[in-house]
Structure 1
Amino acid sequence: MKLFLAAAIAAVATSSATAEEMCGDWDKVDVGNYTLYNNLWGKDNDPGTGGQCTGLDSPIDDPSNIAWHTNYRWGGITWNVKGYPNVGLHFDPVELANVDSIPTTVNYTYEYDEAVTANMAYDLFTSSKPDGEFEYEIMVWLAAIGTAWPLSQEGKNIQNITVGGVDFMLNHGINGNMTVFSWVATKLTTTFSGDLMEFIQALPTAIAPGAKQFLTKVQCGTETYHATKNASMAVTTYKVDVNTLMQGSYGFEK
């Protein structure tokens, strides 16, 4: 067990009486329609000096709002993601044509001493099949901390939008067989309420996912890249839902 983890657990013990700290690679806990993940998918990019723990701060039997925190320290190359502690929503895959709205609210804080690279981001995925491999990823970055920056094939933002009173700029890139869109807030945003569907509908038609693509995953969390000292993120309020239509009326032809 990494040395910093014991200190991290002790620091948050008084605020997390609802569940134990999760420090394992794929540790998770279900809370109503949500699942909280520690998710250390990129930890092999760390030289072995770091680690990450995540804990639930809201009652496990109250799914109306979920609150959680993450503490971490990572070494290695600063632009390699080490983990994505996040909350995922439970819902049945649905064609984009049949998605009416994806309303969400999040409030969070981020604390760190120095040399931190991270983001705070929603992460949505689509596929041509309900259980197929991801083909499109739509990210909404509320914060780009340190040197964190999204994939950008063009090397610049290609579009702008305002959602929930916050200005975002769009970057577009390719990750293997997946097309990645990243809407990045023009300033650090710690409180956000808006409709995530607006980000999908605003994508350039020529490269956007088609209306028959299935929305299969909706997550929110922090991508943790690097921290020379302990860093912590705490979400005090989080809600999201996928509202569907009886018949498709999406912005594209089906």
Structure 2
Amino acid sequence: MLTQLTALTLLPAFCLSSLLRPRQIDTSAHCGQWDTVPAGSQYTVLLDQWGASGASSGSDCARLTSVNGNMVAWETNWTWTGGSGVKSFTNIQLDDGLNKQLSNIKSMPTTWDWSQATSGKIVADVAYDLFTASTPGGANANEIMIWLANFNAGPISSAYGADGQPVPVASNVQLAGQTWNLYSGSNGANNVFSFLPASGNAITSFSGDVNGFLKYLTTNEGLSTSQYLVTAQAGTEATSGTATLTTSKYSLSIN
């Protein structure tokens, strides 16, 4: 019986070199409104510039910098002027393990280390963005956001105080080793739940179980465990200003 090493040595030289050569990734900059860039077998970089028409000028570009197993790194450069709404949500999308009923998800471990350089005042957030639906691959019914940073932006909320600030439906919620305020409202198409750091400070190095946030919502906020997780993304919602978001390490999986 051939050993694995012997079998490899019998392969033609060009086949052997292909097996041993690291898988190439596209590290060039992409700036198209709906460009997509494969990032290994688990992820895709999406240049989702869905609100670009609301800007008087601007651009948004992104590039992969590395893929190592289930760990990926990327960079986003954006600048937007004009309009009050979100212009883009350049993100890394998980493509593996989706369309699973919430009741069947055991864990969603994640790591996200990032930094951001800005020029002047910006309006943006850095966040996970999840969607659930009533059927696998179905229409979005609920959006769940986990904000790691809020730069002069604000979550969707059904209630606002006299000062014009959104009012949380739950405060000082302990999840994934951090303290959060939870906001709830509608974007006109589906329910939106947004967890924001209670301290107001950016969380630039985050590690935890995203499923804990889903379990909190099913236990306390009426999110049905029969819903299916159909989308899991992480990136920056950019409204105005100029910034470069650099992710040095990111991973997310569904078990």
Give the conservation status (yes or no) of the 8 Å contact 1:34–1:63: no
Corresponding position: 1:193 with 2:202: no
Q: Higher strand proportion, which one?
A: 2
Pick one of 20, 25, 32 that aligns with 2:28.
20
Pick one of 49, 53, 64 that aligns with 1:44.
53
Pick one of 128, 134, 158 that aligns with 2:169.
158
Cα RMSD, aligned residues only: 1.5
SS in 2 for 1:199: helix
- Normalised to the residue count of structure 1, the TM-score between the two structures is 0.83
Aligned residues: 220
Equivalence map 1:223-238=2 (5 Å): 223-227=237-241, 230-238=242-250
Matches of 1:35 and 1:231, distance apart in 2: 22
Give the conservation status (yes or no) of the 8 Å contact 2:218–2:225: no
Matches of 1:221 and 1:206, distance apart in 2: 26
User: How far off is 1:185 after superposition?
Assistant: 1.1
SS in 2 for 1:217: strand
Q: Which amino acid aligns with 1:225?
A: T
Matches of 2:228 and 2:174, distance apart in 1: 25
- Structure 2 unaligned spans of 5+: 1-24, 161-166
Map of 2:195 onto structure 1: 183
SS in 1 for 2:212: helix
User: How far off is 1:157 after superposition?
Assistant: 0.9
User: How far off is 1:207 after superposition?
Assistant: 4.2
SS in 2 for 1:113: strand
Larger radius of gyration: 2
Matches of 2:30 and 2:69, distance apart in 1: 19
Q: Which amino acid aligns with 1:158?
A: V
Give the conservation status (yes or no) of the 8 Å contact 2:218–2:224: no
Q: Which amino acid aligns with 2:139?
A: E
Identity %: 34
Equivalence map 1:114-153=2 (5 Å): 114-145=120-151, 147-153=152-158
Map of 1:240 onto structure 2: 252
User: How far off is 1:165 after superposition?
Assistant: 2.2
